[in-house]
Amino acid sequence: MAFFRLYPTIPAPTLVRGEGVYLRPADMRDYEAWTELRAQSRAFLTPWEPTWPADDLTRTSFRSRIKRNHQEIASDEAYPFLIFRDDDVLTGGLTLGQVKRGVVQAATLGYWIGAPYARQGLMSAAVRAVTVYAFSTLRLHRVEASCLPHNEASTKLLERTGFTREGYARSYLRINGIWQDHLLYGLLETDPVPLRVARPNKN
């Protein structure tokens, strides 16, 4: 099914602000910090991600990634962001991908946090910020996400940021080289924003 695009004139995102974090698309000045953080976080991330290509951390591959990101943003197909703490430290990444327009108006959320920055509330802050951006600036109706049933961090993150568990898809994504079942989650523009429970030293 083809989804024609209703919002070809969305301004390219420059900065999305959250609580204690900001998000922006990557550019070449991020290469060193990005590659260092991904290398350092490899063991933490690889059980939950598609298999990394052999050249994934090279400058050439990063340049291609940036080019692809800019094309995707320009064509309203995906909005890939890096996540920075307010003190400008790169902490992770998040993508609103597979944007569908027409009668769907939805996108799929994917995310990763660097191992040294896990469990500090940063991804919760980033997801809250990007869903506001998705519903206000991008005028989407729905944001979807999926995760492995045993990914406790990811399921907690989604539930904490207001997503509802909607289903279960068998053999849904090829993660770490294996087709694996996933839980399916959704957040609607009309869903209530969950109350935030204060946690000491956390978002």
Ligand X SMILES: CC(C)(COP(=O)(O)OP(=O)(O)OC[C@H]1O[C@@H](n2cnc3c(N)ncnc32)[C@H](O)[C@@H]1OP(=O)(O)O)[C@@H](O)C(=O)NCCC(=O)NCCS
* Cα distances (angstroms) measured from residue 49 to each of 80, 82, 111: 16, 17, 10
Q: Which helix (H) or strand (E) holds 91?
A: strand 90-100
When asked if residue 119 is in the footprint of ligand X (CB under 6 A), the reply is yes
Out of 152, 171, 179, 194, point to the residue binding ligand X (CB under 6 A): 152
Distance CA 80, CA 25 (A): 6
82 phi and psi angles, rounded to 5 deg: -100, 155
When asked if residue 111 is in the footprint of ligand X (CB under 6 A), the reply is yes
When asked if residue 21 is in the footprint of ligand X (CB under 6 A), the reply is no
When asked if residue 90 is in the footprint of ligand X (CB under 6 A), the reply is no
| Stretch binding ligand X (CB under 6 A), from 3-11, 21-29, 145-153, 186-194 | 145-153
Residue 176 in contact with residue 43, Cβ under 8 Å?
A: no
Residue 84 in contact with residue 67, Cβ under 8 Å?
A: no
Distance CA 21, CA 125 (A): 7
When asked if residue 26 is in the footprint of ligand X (CB under 6 A), the reply is no
> Which positions from 32 through 61 interact with ligand X, judged by CB under 6 A?
44-45, 48
Strands 142-147 and 106-113: parallel
When asked if residue 147 is in the footprint of ligand X (CB under 6 A), the reply is yes
Q: How far is the CB of 70 from ligand X (least distance, A)?
A: 24
| Stretch binding ligand X (CB under 6 A), from 17-25, 31-39, 72-80, 147-155 | 147-155
Per CB under 6 A, residues contacting ligand X are: 44-45, 48, 111-113, 118-124, 147, 151-154, 156-157, 160
